[in-house]
Chains A and B, each alone.
Chain A
């Protein structure tokens, strides 16, 4: 009998880990700076998903606060990179 707990442990979390590894290849070899910025953004967004699944599995709802902070940091980081990349060309 497959329960939802084993399904989360043996299917959902490994697939999320594979997704992070695939994005990390792009972060490593991305030809331009902006490629790396969106790869980092996608890694953090996938990290929010991993934290959510982990908080379900460990039955600790407090971990969702970390997800809120990570979403905020991902947005601010991308906006800051975009702002300074645009300024760089200007001067």
Chain B
């Protein structure tokens, strides 16, 4: 009985890791790749660690597995947010069929602070859009 539960948990975990890796290969631009991989890989590794925690009849292993899961859940969104923010500042192009870029003009270029309203100066020169023209720029 416990074998079947472990098989189901590990299968779900390994499939979400596989979907994350297919997503990072197939998604059309950086931001979509980021949003696919972080959540799916955290779920997958978390399920595999739960599998290990059930498998070993030892309290120290369970504590270690829970510590790793907790650490991953805390740190993965922070790392993803930091790298996404850095990518937006360095001008990584968005996918060519992007409908709206709500961050456009909201960031102060000098101080890297987010503002709630668009600057007057930025509004006039907003022709410089960050959305890619062709598929090849982001592929």
Contacts and interface: CB of A to CB of B under 8 A. Distances in A.
Q: Do A and B bind each other?
A: yes
Interface of A: 3-4, 7-8, 11-12, 15-16, 18-20, 22-23, 25-26, 31-35, 37-39, 41-42, 45-46, 48-49, 52-53, 55-56, 61, 64-65, 67-68, 71-72, 74-75, 78-79, 81-83, 85-86, 88-90
Contacts, number: 162
Contacts of A26: 24-25, 33
B139 A45 contact: no
A71 B73 CA distance: 11
18 contacts: A3-B3, A16-B14, A19-B18, A22-B22, A22-B24, A23-B24, A35-B30, A37-B83, A45-B17, A46-B17, A46-B45, A48-B49, A49-B45, A53-B52, A71-B75, A75-B71, A79-B79, A83-B82
B64 A65 contact: yes
A-B interface, 6 closest residue pairs, ranked by CB to CB distance from nearest: A82-B82, A19-B21, A78-B79, A75-B75, A34-B87, A22-B21
Contact of A49 (B44, B60, B65): B44
